[in-house]
Amino acid sequence: MHRVVALALDEVVAFDLAIPAQIFGSTAPEYGFEVCGPRRRVTSDTGFAIAVERGLEALADADTVIVPGVGEAALPFHRASLRALRAAHARGARVASICTGAFVLAAAGLLDGRHATTHWAYADRLATEFPSVSVDPNVLYVDEGDVLTSAGLAAGIDLCLHIVRTDRGAEVANAVARHLVVPPHRDGGQAQFVDRPVASLPQRRLEPTREWMLDRLAHPLAVAEMARHAGYSERSFARHFRAETGATPLQWLLAQRVLLARRLLETTDLTVDEIAREVGFGAAVTLRLHLKRLVGTTPTAYRRTFRGTRVAA
DNA sequence: ACTTCCTTCCGCCATT
DNA sequence: TTAATGGCGGAAGGAA
């Protein structure tokens, strides 16, 4: 049982807190979830009160600590909370933030010299207040291994799914996503928002083409063909694709191939070479390369870790 | 790991 | 005038 503990400070963003509560507290299997904080009762950013079951001592035996966003009034933070966070991290716990929770991690010194992200509207401020943090406002989440940060609000869902995928594999993460009724995978590097601050309707114009690409994943697929399917020139296709997904066509395709390969490694006994061909990589070396690049591991090591993991209903 | 060949991506800019 | 389009060239990056 992997213990996830969320730290609820004053003016905690209710939505941010609800995400890990839903995912680790009820949807994903084999996780335990608790909410802790320096006070037994906090008022959320939207005004309703939350009963906090545990004190800061709960951080002492957490495997993963999640810090949701907090309102302006919560700054500066309780020294005891920051100390407990530092101690948890030093002990080896994985620490993650959602939205403006990154300010708490930064105040605890856990982001020094690291890449991090936060809600796009606060990115400048984070970079100004904590010059030693390398802030990237254009990604959904940043995974530094023992410290993870995510962008605003709904990006917390992407982060928590990413954590489940890391711990339990792609198959379990997909099952959780299906239960939540969200798309199974947005890559961390995806832009938080595209072109306009207020996204207008047609963000799914290329969806049929993406579906078509998924169907033909096993075959070689050139950008020129994709553009033709979408009815655009290559140049315009690339522009629209990036605007909708945050990724270039090839990046997206490679990510989907790796994702499918992960599922096959988890759920089948096909050889690495067979899987490589099955997902559209010409040979096993190519799969190895991209799996290493995107997940940081080798096919056999990945299979050893995740083969046979049970899937949530 | 290195090299070669090929594709992809993106800024620039004229055109619609 | 603004917004979208698509061709071009060079640099980056993928495949073998």
A227 CB and strand C closer than 7 A: no
A194 CB and strand B closer than 7 A: no
A290: the nucleotide nearest its CA (via C1') is C14
In DSSP notation, A11-61 reads TB-HHHHHHHHHIIIIISTTEEEEEE-SSSEEE-TTS-EEE--B-GGGGGG
A223: the nucleotide nearest its CA (via C1') is B8
pLDDT value at position A197? 36
Residues of chain A above pLDDT 90, percent: 65
Cα angle A56, A8, A95; round to 5:
75
How many angstroms separate the CA of A105 from the C1' of C6? 46
Length of chain A: 313
Tens-place pLDDT, residues A81-97: 999 999 999 999 999 99
Q: Flag residues of chain A having pLDDT under 50.
A: 193-202, 310-313
Tens-place pLDDT, residues A140-152: 888 888 999 998 8
- Which residues have C-beta within 8 Å of that of residue A247, sequence separation ≥ 6? A187, A189, A190, A241, A255
